[in-house]
Structure 1
Amino acid sequence: MIRLELSVRGILAIALALAGIWFFVQLWPLVLIITTSFIFMAALLPYIEWMVRHGINRVVAVLLMLFAILAVFGAMVAIVAPAVVDEFRDLQGNLPEYAADFETFAADLGFNTERWDLPERAADIDWNRIISGSQVVDYGQRVLVGILTGLTIAVITAYLLVETHRLRAFLFRFIPPDREADAHHFLRALERVVGGYVRGQLITSLIIGVYTMVVLLAVGVPNAVAFGVLAAFADIIPLVGAFIAVVPATIAAYQESPTQAVIVLVALLIYQQFEDRLLVPRIYGQTLNLPALVVLLAVLAGAELMGIVGVLLALPAAAAGRVVLDYYLERRANGFTDDQVPQVLAPDEPDEAIP
């Protein structure tokens, strides 16, 4: 027999816990938006503090930063969208011809293409069924929701950047005085790891975007700038971003000739190896020192829970989790006192760089 005895206080505690879980589930989209805002705040905070130290009003500095980001993002969309639409229309109209060229190219390489029938299959594609009116409306709604969500994140990020010191002071009101040293070092580690990851990702995206654009211009592929920007966006996505960055540029090059497509494919694959083996370790350094298995599991879990947004947030969340875990494991293993708190999981950086 199992006998359970619960006091009134215990019953109330269980009820409050269940209510808290229910509210958390119901407010999950808002939690996701706030988490994303904190990640962007950690990435932008050093630049805001730099402008403030050079005499710019904090509110003005935040507005200048957000306007610059929105202007760059808007320019990228304006460049990419028309080029993608043009390439899709060209692919739709000339797909049977491209399929025949591909069969000929494969046959020249020694493949048996007699049973492929690619031109016939390309001609039988019902584009009206693939691109129906209901799907256009559905994708339009998703784009609108995405835009509104992005604007909400921008507003919350701006508030967090403006009120950073007040929020920090409010948080420390709930921390005992003998634990403030722990909290200071812990927050600095989080800011350096999460913010450093985001800033490092922006650098790698910029490099692959410029490289892709140069390769396409050298080969003579139209809309090279647009595909460079698209590669920069795709590079943000862990694991599958490399594939997404390579495929559109290769397809665009193939519409010119199979030889150009091979050159672009080889050049981009070589760059992917360079980025994975040399560039990323040097840029991130200690910022994202996660095992490959952890990265894979984090991305898969993020995709399962939140789709593409979860994939984008998986690595910053995993890096923050590593900060929490290693911080307390090292404290417990070494028995640090409150005035000997270790600086963990943060690359070498002067403390004054992050307030």
Structure 2
Amino acid sequence: MDEDEHSEADDYRLAEQGHHRRVGRPHSYDEGTIVDAERIAAQLRSDNPPLGARGRRLDRHAPFHIGLMASAGVAVTYGVVRLLGTASSVLILVAAAMFFALGLEPAVSGLVNRKVPRGAAVSLVIAAVFGVLAAMIVAAIPPLVQESRQFIEQAPHLLQEAQNHSSAIGRLNERFHIQQRITGMVDSLGTSTVLRAGQTVFGALSDVGIVAVLTIYFLADMPRIRATTYRFVPNSRRPRAILLGDEVMAKIGDYVFGNILTSLIAGAATFAWCFFLHVPYALLLGAFVAIIDLFPYGSTVGGFVVALAALTVSVPVSVATVGFYIVFRLAEDYLLTPRIIGRAVRVPGGVTVVAVLIGAALLGVVGALVAIPVAAALQLLVSELLFPTLDDA
């Protein structure tokens, strides 16, 4: 081995130290000049500061900076805003897919670190995710079919009870005109409403399919996406950007993994509670709570649904179910979340609530879902970039 080959191998090993072990694996020479930046990033990494010292300020008198500021007029800015507004629905789907891809990236890179090819690692992770979803759907179908069959069989009896003025249902129907209200509601819906509902369901399923496909593509091509993104950063600031960017992506992955883990715990606790108290459809309710708990404060909504289902057993069981979810909510907020998610994102509780409210107001369900990792990323950037600048001012 000559001196140049030896130097190149040493540079690559040093660059490997600057490459985040849970993001964009495997590391290769195909990343081009990013390898050089990661070699410098490995030299910047230390215990204090762990993400490298701040780089020098941008030259505000540089020709590129002056030209960029001069060209960014009101018309251009207005056009960009209008363009983003027009494509907002598509951009939300793309952002959601990238969020899920970043969430699954630590699992893929973990397999790559164990000598699994990236293509096989992506296939294994995607197969595991879709396998869990398919298992939940398969578990939910039999209870739904059974419940629908029971309702169809009991419908004539319920109709007779509603027309019997001596029964409790009949007295309620006579007092509140329930049958007339339901009939009028069905008549008022009409064909157009049914068509709109069908279009809404079809659109939602299409959006889910688009997000799933984009997530797979983003996850498979994450090393190239990562390298290309860092190429937009000036070379003098690229090592620092790599350290900060990889840390942000790792936090998103930790949040998604922790969120899934706490949701599985919520689903398992729901199943156990319903099973031992003989609440019907324990498996279906557990799966429902596990899915809805993926969203902030979803277990509260899930607990309300389970409490309604517990009314079919008895009122005391329903009241006990409400108490169970109050205790579980406190345990999730002050025990599970701090231990599982809090160590990764390190976002204060007040900031979490505000972030979820703002995210939900801006982007609805997607905004509420990504609010906490976005807040964690902003908190990291503020502490690493803004506060040191203000302290030195």
Residues 86 and 297 (structure 1), Cα distance of their counterparts in 2 relative to 1, 3 Å cut: farther
- Which of 70, 74, 82 in structure 2 is aligned with 1:14? 74
Query: For 1:67, what is the secondary structure of its paired residue?
Result: helix
Other-structure match for 2:259: 201
Other-structure match for 2:181: 126
Question: For 1:125-164, what aligned pairs fall within 5 Å after superposition?
Answer: 126-130=181-185, 132=189, 134-164=192-222
Bigger Rg, structure 1 or 2: 2
**For the Cα contact (< 8 Å) 2:266–2:299, is it kept in 1?**
no
How much does 1:202 deviate? 0.4
Residues 127 and 16 (structure 1), Cα distance of their counterparts in 2 relative to 1, 3 Å cut: same
Other-structure match for 2:345: 288
* Stretch of structure 1 that moved more, 145-154 or 201-210: 145-154
Deviation string, structure 1 residues 249-270 (Cα, Å, up to 9, x no partner):
1111111221222232222222
Deviation string, structure 1 residues 221-242 (Cα, Å, up to 9, x no partner):
1110000011112212223x23
Deviation string, structure 1 residues 89-129 (Cα, Å, up to 9, x no partner):
8599679x9xxxxxx9xxxxxxxxxxxx7994484573345
Query: For 2:344, what is the secondary structure of its paired residue?
Result: coil
**For the Cα contact (< 8 Å) 1:87–1:252, is it kept in 2?**
no
How much does 1:161 deviate? 1.8
- Which of 262, 265, 272 in structure 1 is aligned with 2:329? 272
Between 1 and 2, higher relative CO (CA 8 Å, sep ≥ 6) is seen in 1
**Distance in 1, Cα, partners of 2:248 & 2:195:** 41
Equivalent AA in structure 2 for residue 267 of structure 1: F
* Stretch of structure 1 that moved more, 263-272 or 11-20: 11-20
Q: Structure 1 length as normaliser, TM-score? A: 0.76
Q: Which runs of 5+ in 2 are unaligned?
A: 1-66, 162-167
**For the Cα contact (< 8 Å) 1:59–1:162, is it kept in 2?**
yes
How much does 1:204 deviate? 0.6
Question: For 1:40-119, what aligned pairs fall within 5 Å after superposition?
Answer: 40-80=100-140, 83=143
Other-structure match for 1:348: none
How much does 1:10 deviate? 4.5
**Distance in 2, Cα, partners of 1:286 & 1:90:** 47
Equivalent AA in structure 1 for residue 366 of structure 2: V
Question: 2:274 matched to 1:216?
Answer: yes
Other-structure match for 2:295: 237
Deviation string, structure 1 residues 50-77 (Cα, Å, up to 9, x no partner):
2223343322321232232123223323
* Stretch of structure 1 that moved more, 269-278 or 124-133: 124-133
Question: 2:233 matched to 1:175?
Answer: yes
Deviation string, structure 1 residues 249-292 (Cα, Å, up to 9, x no partner):
11111112212222322222221121111111111133333344
**Distance in 2, Cα, partners of 1:202 & 1:36:** 16
- Which of 227, 237, 242 in structure 1 is aligned with 2:285? 227
How much does 1:18 deviate? 1.8
Equivalent AA in structure 1 for residue 212 of structure 2: A
**Distance in 1, Cα, partners of 2:358 & 2:284:** 31
The two structures, once aligned, show a CA RMSD in angstroms of: 3.2
Q: Structure 2 length as normaliser, TM-score? A: 0.69
Other-structure match for 1:191: 249
Equivalent AA in structure 2 for residue 58 of structure 1: R
Residues 302 and 15 (structure 1), Cα distance of their counterparts in 2 relative to 1, 3 Å cut: same
How much does 1:176 deviate? 2.5
**Distance in 2, Cα, partners of 1:206 & 1:83:** 20
Identity %: 28
How much does 1:333 deviate? 5.2
- Which of 299, 308, 314 in structure 1 is aligned with 2:365? 308
* Stretch of structure 1 that moved more, 325-334 or 214-223: 325-334
* Stretch of structure 1 that moved more, 177-186 or 76-85: 76-85
How much does 1:219 deviate? 0.3
Residues 144 and 226 (structure 1), Cα distance of their counterparts in 2 relative to 1, 3 Å cut: same
**For the Cα contact (< 8 Å) 1:43–1:196, is it kept in 2?**
yes
Residues 82 and 123 (structure 1), Cα distance of their counterparts in 2 relative to 1, 3 Å cut: farther
**For the Cα contact (< 8 Å) 2:306–2:321, is it kept in 1?**
yes
**For the Cα contact (< 8 Å) 2:359–2:370, is it kept in 1?**
yes
**Distance in 2, Cα, partners of 1:238 & 1:174:** 34
